[in-house]
Amino acid sequence: MKLRNVAIIAHVDHGKTTLVDRLLQQAGSFRENQKVAERAMDSNDLERERGITILAKATSVLWQDTRINIVDTPGHADFGGEVERILNMVDGAIVLVDAAEGPLPQTKFVVSKALKMGLKPIVAINKVDRPDARATQVVNEVFDLFAALDATDEQLDFPILYGSAKQGWMADSLEGPTDKGMQPLFDLLLNHVPEPKTEEGPFRLLGTIMEANPYLGRLITGRITSGIVKPNQNVKVLDHTGKLIENGRVTKILAFRGLERVSLDEAEAGDIVSIAGLPNATVAHTIGAPEIEGPLPAQPIDPPTLAMLFRVNDSPLAGTEGSKVTSRMIRDRLLREAEGNVALRVSESTERDSMEVAGRGELQLGILIETMRREGFELSVSRPRVLLRRNEANELEEPIEEVVIDVDEEHSGVVVQKMSERKADMIEMRPSGGGRTRLVFYAPTRGLIGYQGELLTDTRGTAIMNRLFHAYAPYKGEIAGRRNGVLISNEQGEAVAYAMFKLEDRGPMMIEPGARVYRGMIVGEHTRDNDLEINVLKGKQLTNIRTTSKDEAVRLTPPIRMTLEKALAYIQDDELVEVTPKSIRLRKTLLDPNERKRAERAKEAEPA
């Protein structure tokens, strides 16, 4: 059978997963009466809740006499490691671009990787039904982007389709026709994407996606570079240096057929399949016949830029809400995650009972923490810390990100001011249509930690921020952090509404009456810049003197709700976020006030 392997790459929210839904529908992967969820490829609970793709996934459709393997990729820069690996498996790519927003940082990132690998992309302008669509200008922007990324003449001569994945059509021109559905895209895929390149020789496959299956164990998905594989065949696994990891036997070969997986009796070069039966094989490993000599080349992955400490939860409430609380369990879970996620780096920390986890961004680390708490883990995590490095001249360098902010014109002043306070340099400022302005900055990653929430407040929720790692550059000096101190509980027990009512003028609270608190836990934000210890447990003194005046009704201001991302952005270096399956609490690293004072004095005495 004829084969085509293609990836769909785009910025977040430009409609990749919706497009895959339509391709599956038109190719007849679903029965007429079959009930299919929207965004069928987003199988993970977190993906459904947030409306984003986190893990790359493969599917396949049959069009005429050709099987097309399609890989849906994440759009967030934090999950860029997934996309970099996927491009090894495919021979073509559909670059999906929003007809109003145009190419954004992640589009630039994935297109640069695809062009370097020699892929000839197809450009699909999606969402042309938007009222603010500007499809012709967007095509010119895409061409300029390709030219800036040193595309060859062949790559610059890219075919263009216009359409709306939501309405389920693609066509050669803006006007349509809209009644052919996805047929123009299928036809273009068959004509423009080359057949898979295969090599002569014994069976070889490069692992690209790893997942755990409750019945089959570890599944490694990749494209077969050469040869044929059958169940029960003996194979060996090599890492990227050529070192032997294990000798094993293939127990099952699974291929994608729509949203289902079917087992095969034989798979040949060029096809994308999943192999079971190799407990130690992982991403970037080469699986091959016993006679192969060296490994297949694997794409280098961009380095992580942020790190966090994952520690044992040692608060007085530890173990009351979660079932997995020991350092050994946390360590094993993180090492297991690092095996399948090449963009994460897990290492032992110098501190006791803690592991250092480095990744691409706050969102990637936040998703990992959220997944762990849903599995029943209790842990405490530190503030995200930027990974600095020294160059050949021994100068300190820090990661810089390219930040694109689309904002209403009236709010652009406050955005520019806040970004300059965070040591960002403005590169470009231009109108982006519909009374909006596009601002482009180069900003240090340190300055962007926690800015997302502030940006939405400043712009009344109208700004859209996209960021992408740009390069390492000389260290830009100190950046002012949080301006307010915090309110810290000095007792352990349950918070009382009466006490909280009396303390309201000290600052907004982060807890509700009846919440369990402990000494050293952060219960609110101080109106001034210093930390203040307060007692939220003090009830009203009851006396036997009766009065005719009624007790004043206690009406509390609603507390600040702390989500996981908000909490990670809010805390300072001497604070932690305590994460359990039921709660997210903020606390000081040192719970004892005397220890905190000693640590502060020691810090002041340190030479600068």
Q: How many residues does the chain have?
A: 608
Task: Report the Cα–Cα distance between both ends of the chain, in Å, rounded.
Answer: 69
- At 551, the pLDDT band (50, 70, 90 cuts) reads low
| CA–CA gap between residue 580 and residue 17 (Å, rounded) | 31
Q: What is the dihedral of CA 185, 191, 195, 196, to 10 degrees?
A: -40
Task: Return the pLDDT at 608.
Answer: 53
CATH-assigned architecture of domain 486-605 = Beta Barrel (2.40)
Strands across the sheet with 57-63, in order?
57-63, 66-72, 2-10, 92-98, 122-126, 160-164, 169-171
The percentage of residues in the chain with a pLDDT greater than 90, rounded to a whole number, is 27
Task: Return the pLDDT at 104.
Answer: 82
Task: Return the pLDDT at 161.
Answer: 93
Two tokens, residue 264: 């095969």
Mean pLDDT over 163-185 rounds to 87
Two tokens, residue 261: 């997986």
Region(s) of the chain under CATH 3.40.50.300: 2-192
Q: Which residues of 60-79 are buried (b: 16+ CB within 10 A; e: fewer)?
A: bbebeebbbbbbbbbbbbbb
Q: Mean pLDDT for the chain?
A: 85
Q: Which of 101-105, 522-526, 602-606 is predicted most confidently?
A: 522-526
| Annotated binding residue 45 | no
| CA–CA gap between residue 274 and residue 254 (Å, rounded) | 5
Helix, strand counts (H, E) of the chain = 15, 34
Fold type of domain 2-192: Rossmann fold (3.40.50)
More confident residue, 17 or 326: 326
Task: Return the pLDDT at 578.
Answer: 94
The percentage of residues in the chain with a pLDDT greater than 70, rounded to a whole number, is 91
**Lowest-confidence pick of 272-276, 331-335, 564-568:** 564-568
- At 266, the pLDDT band (50, 70, 90 cuts) reads very high
Sign of the dihedral defined by the CA atoms of residues 522, 524, 528, 529, in that order: positive
| Annotated binding residue 273 | no
| Annotated binding residue 126 | yes
| Annotated binding residue 72 | no
| Annotated binding residue 18 | yes
| Annotated binding residue 15 | yes
**Cβ(397)–Cβ(388) below 8 Å:** yes
Site of tokens 């482009």: 440
| Annotated binding residue 229 | no
Task: Return the pLDDT at 577.
Answer: 94
Task: Return the pLDDT at 38.
Answer: 52
Task: Return the pLDDT at 372.
Answer: 92
Whether the pLDDT of residue 586 is over 90: the answer is yes
Region(s) of the chain under CATH 2.40.30.10: 204-288
More confident residue, 282 or 291: 291
Region(s) of the chain under CATH 3.30.70.240: 390-474
Q: pTM score, two decimals?
A: 0.80
CATH-assigned architecture of domain 390-474 = 2-Layer Sandwich (3.30)
- For 559-572, write each residue's pLDDT tens digit: 888 888 888 888 88
Task: Return the pLDDT at 414.
Answer: 92
Fold type of domain 204-288: Elongation Factor Tu (Ef-tu); domain 3 (2.40.30)
- For 27-82, write each residue's pLDDT tens digit: 766 555 555 555 555 556 676 666 676 667 788 888 888 889 888 877 776 676 67
| CA–CA gap between residue 472 and residue 552 (Å, rounded) | 59
| Annotated binding residue 313 | no
Whether the pLDDT of residue 541 is over 70: the answer is yes
- For 461-476, write each residue's pLDDT tens digit: 888 888 888 888 898 8
CA separation, residue 433 to residues 102, 131, 133, 438 (Å):
11, 11, 9, 9
Two tokens, residue 385: 């810390």
Q: What is the dihedral of CA 30, 10, 435, 412, to 10 degrees?
A: 130
Strands across the sheet with 217-226, in order?
244-249, 234-238, 286-288, 204-213, 217-226, 272-276, 252-257, 260-263
Region(s) of the chain under CATH 2.40.50.250: 486-605
